[in-house]
A and B are shown apart, each in its own frame.
Chain A
Amino acid sequence: MFSYIVRRLGQMVLVLVGLSILLFILLQLAPGDSAQIMAGLGATPEVVENLRVKLGLDKPLYVQYWRLFSGLFTGELEAVTFSTTVVDIVADRLQATVELGLFGLLLAIFVSIPAGIISAVKKDSFADYAVTTVSMIGISTPVFWTALMLMIIFSIQFDLLPVSGRGATLWGWSFLTVDGILHMIIPAVALSSVMMAMNARLTRSSMLEVLSEDYITTARSKGLSERIVIVYHAFRNAILPVLTNVGMQVGTVVAGAVLTETTTAWPGVGRLMIEAISRRDMGLVFGLSLFIAIFYLMSYLVVDILYAYVDPRITYD
């Protein structure tokens, strides 16, 4: 396993280098001049040129690339928009995203997986219809609409929760304060709604497939209780596709629950990415994209490692 992890980490470095080159090319191809956009409408050619020099955009492309790539690892890459380094601004906003993503994901897992199991076990029952209908609605409903509806119902009509924002924090974490927790409920539920729906449907279909296998019939014929059959025999085999999906969702929530963060004014990296793109902050877009890529790659690695623990038939050595 150890050599597998080392090999995968080595591959990750290659992927990141390739990705950084691709990203740089895309940034060059994107329409719009960073210096011009930062200088604003009405800027004189001299002002734009001065800004271009300051941003290093007058240098040859390979110099510009190296400045971005090396700057990210030395921590000196500048997020010009915020007059700070990319590392600092990402660190500033990451806590909010991680916190929201984690709560949203946990909520999705703890609600959707039991719901999917019940739906499969009680196929064609009222519970099954209820889960499939609700999950269909969850998948079909845009996150921003869900968030706005939650705000109207729980903040405006019943005055139970704050409308938006992050509220009070302790050491940068919202979940350590009551005000912070109250602020997190609407964004976390909105964010989890789509994940919840997908996971419930995936769990249901995966469970249905496993429940029709011969080894389940054998387990039942041995006289094992239904609970043991479902939890230890069926669910353990059905969890692999769900695990893959959850792994992808980890990457997605860090990549930025852009719509959730924008609608609920949550100060995370999703919104930061939109701000960076709209202001053509090359350094910030570059750094943030690579950072998100690292998170994606790491979450896939963790999922692959978990496969081996969940299913002993899978080995990597």
Chain B
Amino acid sequence: MVREETEFVNWEAVIGLEVHIELSTKSKMFCGCSTDYFTAKPNTHTCPVCLGLPGAMPKANKLAIKYTQLIGLALNCKTRTGSKFDRKNYFYPDLAKGFQISQYDLPFSENGHMFITTNGRTKKIGITRAHLEEDTGKLIHTKLNGTRLTLVDFNRSGVPLIEIVTEPDISSSLEAKTYARNLQQVVRYLKVSDADMEKGSMRIEPNVSLRKVTKGQESMVKELPPYKVELKNINSFKFAEKAIEYEIKRQRKILESGKMPKQETRGWNETKQETVSQRSKEEAHDYRYFPEPDLPPFAFEEKYFKSISEEIPELPDEKRKRFTKDYSLAENDARTLTEGVELAKFFEEAAGAYKKDPKIVANWITGEVLRRLNEENKTISDSPLLPASLAELLFLIDKGEITKANGKEILANMIKTGDDPRATVIKLKVTGISDIKLEEIVIQTISRNPKAIEDYKKGKEASLMFLIGQVQRITKGQAKPEKVREFVLRKLSEAD
């Protein structure tokens, strides 16, 4: 036997992501209870089905299935014509029936992909599957009269949950974060979930391991490491990034000492800024999957997939490309404007109304509009500002009726009130005349009142007030007094 000389190059992270997203259907996955549990009193959105009472049976939510297929189609998946639900059997006090209805070997969608761009490099991330299941109840650990108790709230029990699993194609925390953000964006574009990490309607579980890369093999098909660490307890993109980074360092240390990291589940501890072991392989479940006998298998026709695929809107990637092309926007601006479907729509409507250079509209939105909204922690949908009003504001600036600086002030008010720009100008008494015009008036006023200038130079403050009053009279009070004062002073000093 001969062996090729191999030269160690580096450790490479091998990351796969499991993302759970709660679908925003009105009713639960297998019963008619409301899914709007977020602020509801515990155990008020329940019925025999989601409480798992004896004899109760599930009835599948058609819309949730459609949402799963839409997500599948949006992620370039193959949608199955034949599919079914399975039972995943395990014990946990938040699981009412002692099993979760999920999907095992025939998920609604599988074999898809998504492109992500990090540091200017585009990469294809394989999507293994997107399947539908039901959410569990929630345990609340508390203390009552000095006794530690665990309470169960079944309001969340049975809320439709989609699980999207990637291939182990991700190799950095940045890629993982980018993928998760893109996925969130797609799901929001499809309007199938609010995918809110903080509220728990989107949950990320990365699995991380490291493999050795040797020289000359960097681009070859590589074997998977013989172990894998699953990370849980992650409720923000930032935590995901930090947990993955921590894990890469931790595993690297173990590997470099010649040992093999344990196959286990670890949770992110934000206070300690580290991952903590939760469950090892030996304790892993055998879920004893089998077809859910209470739900007959599904058969879908290609015709059906064709008709639902027509409901898929333009997705973020396409929209961004179109924005850079059709509106000649910079890549960055296009990315910002396509972040959410509402903002993109706002831009397109404003640009359509404005009719002139859309880049100006883009600059105003990515600059002033977003800055003001961010200050108040709002999104464009929270503001009554109309796209046509923004366009009109830009017109007024172009015509010189208001200055750009004043325009910003007017815009800030419009974002709050939704009033149109002309009404706002009058209401705020910001100058109805542009700086150019005001300057003109000031120059005229000064030239017509040489006496007052003489007096002023002699130190008569009253002359200054006289001149300001004259300007105000001509502008019919539309100019702000401080501004008039500033202009008059500047002209006076220039007149020296």
Q: Do A and B assemble together?
A: no
